Structure 1
């Protein structure tokens, strides 16, 4: 298997890529031992199947232990982190289908309407775990028909068994409105963000009140959210061909090593490896060799 990262750390490796045969899908296959994912969230969904070892996934409601035979399902924008649950680490296959892709499958294959999500975070489901891994194998073999078919079967099955309509958004309370305004300001001024005190003053609130409101709304403090947002923006810049060093400065990191550290702890591979996979996939239209 081509490796997006291979640093010799007790056999750790990872590959994060896109397969053009299945638009709207990112794939990560990896073995991690000492690597840990810092608190972050995704714009789309996460569907993970551990093959060996144990992954501890820290969710807002507590830590879940992902073992072989389980499927982890994380809804968009839900903050989480992860690390090895046993000394030997874990190896797994993860699918990151976009919100639009999951919505289209839900409309076609289920009775769920509106914005859909998963009611459980982890389920015992060996058959679907095998399907998740099979999507990876098909993509790595360049079999678009199989990869697309297996993905749709896996997502439809999980939605029928564990899906639910997400609650409608209620009008924002005062604290949530303040948090939303703070998020907009941080997004706009990503490269040179204000301090917590400055941000609170601009929003006519106190630093601790803003901190509490932001954590209640987004599950993480403003500085953690900002790092996540910077990495998301850096991903888009890397995909468009921007060099990692330039991307780092654009999003507000001090230098490329600063970007490398945060990018790897959120995405699972360094920015250079991430960009190489994207360039290879898009320029050739072929799946990189497995």
Structure 2
């Protein structure tokens, strides 16, 4: 189900990177990644879905809203929707993992069955839960082998156990988050002008806030400075266009990247696979 990326693993050399990003029909609302990374590192970025990765060998290190995590074999790297995080090898040999990207709706549905209301969060990001890890690896392998019943049953079992042991309801916010109006205006301007974004100085002048103050306030709300936020939105929109079957070169121009290599460079920094491989795998599955 799905095709491998342009880089293929070899049994002889565990330092060779490989990545396969795909969608399995037996797991609706969920995308999957199987990968080994050595020199690849992920810039600060977000996903609209949950990210639940089971480390199968090596060590991954990453930053997340709660600090820094270092996760080895049998551990889980868990990040919520919209949470800014990074990722890189924690040892020279790199790390291998199997990742689930379930949508909010998928996780919320399982959480409701566990009595958790709203969009659930987790008590920590780097999680030691060997039983959950074992179940989720078996679920991922079942998807690899085209077994929808086993994949769906074990995924639900593993996520349910993870929520029971490490899940929590989102913390109540006594006062709605009041972003500075200048930040909201800046966000709207950036999203409307992906093809021709203003300079930071132009953006600051347009919203009436100094460049340093705007950058600090924008990062406080969105977790990313304005220039990184633009690239995040471009990658998110590129994913949607690629899933719709638009050619990568055309997608690059539509979302504001200079050319296809520019798109590829940022796409790999966010997802670990080039846009062409991402598109072929998802369309094939």
TM-score normalized by structure 2?
Answer: 0.93
Contact conserved, 1:48 with 1:132, CA < 8 A, in 2? no
Q: Unpaired segments of 5 or more residues in structure 1?
A: 282-290
Return the alpha-carbon distance in structure 2 between the equivalents of residues 174 and 154 of structure 1: 37
Return the alpha-carbon distance in structure 1 between the equivalents of residues 65 and 90 of structure 2: 18
4+ aligned runs moved over 3 Å, structure 1: 7-10
Contact conserved, 2:135 with 2:158, CA < 8 A, in 1? yes
Deviations 1:202-254 (A, max 9, x none): 22221111101011112121111111111111010000010000000111000
Deviations 1:94-137 (A, max 9, x none): 100001111111112x1111221112111211111112211211
Provide closer, same or farther for how the CA distance between residues 174 and 38 of structure 1 changes in structure 2, counting only shifts above 3 A. Answer: closer
Return the alpha-carbon distance in structure 2 between the equivalents of residues 185 and 152 of structure 1: 40
User: Quick check: 1:3 aligned with 2:8?
Assistant: no
Q: Compute the displacement of 1:179 (Å).
A: 2.1
Residue 288 of structure 1 corresponds to which residue in structure 2? none
Q: 1:128 aligns with which of 128, 132, 136?
A: 132
Residue 164 of structure 1 corresponds to which residue in structure 2? 168
Q: Compute the displacement of 1:185 (Å).
A: 2.1
Return the alpha-carbon distance in structure 1 between the equivalents of residues 139 and 108 of structure 2: 19
Q: Compute the displacement of 1:38 (Å).
A: 1.1
Contact conserved, 1:94 with 1:132, CA < 8 A, in 2? no
Residue 185 of structure 1 corresponds to which residue in structure 2? 189
Return the alpha-carbon distance in structure 2 between the equivalents of residues 202 and 17 of structure 1: 41
Q: Name the count of aligned residue pairs.
A: 279
Q: 3-state DSSP class of the match of 2:150?
A: helix
Q: Unpaired segments of 5 or more residues in structure 2?
A: none
Q: Compute the displacement of 1:195 (Å).
A: 1.5
Residue 80 of structure 1 corresponds to which residue in structure 2? 85
Residue 75 of structure 2 corresponds to which residue in structure 1? 70
Deviates more, 1:62-71 or 1:94-103: 62-71
Return the alpha-carbon distance in structure 1 between the equivalents of residues 217 and 103 of structure 2: 28
Q: Compute the displacement of 1:168 (Å).
A: 4.1
Return the alpha-carbon distance in structure 2 between the equivalents of residues 117 and 95 of structure 1: 16
Deviations 1:161-198 (A, max 9, x none): 111121345334353x4323322221222121111122
User: Quick check: 1:102 aligned with 2:103?
Assistant: no
Contact conserved, 2:3 with 2:22, CA < 8 A, in 1? no
The 5-angstrom pairing of residues 140-151 of structure 1 reads: 140-151=144-155
Provide closer, same or farther for how the CA distance between residues 114 and 60 of structure 1 changes in structure 2, counting only shifts above 3 A. Answer: closer
The CA RMSD measured in Å over matched residues stands at: 1.7
Return the alpha-carbon distance in structure 2 between the equivalents of residues 260 and 113 of structure 1: 39
Q: 1:265 aligns with which of 265, 269, 279?
A: 269
Residue 258 of structure 2 corresponds to which residue in structure 1? 254
User: Quick check: 1:61 aligned with 2:66?
Assistant: yes
TM-score normalized by structure 1?
Answer: 0.92
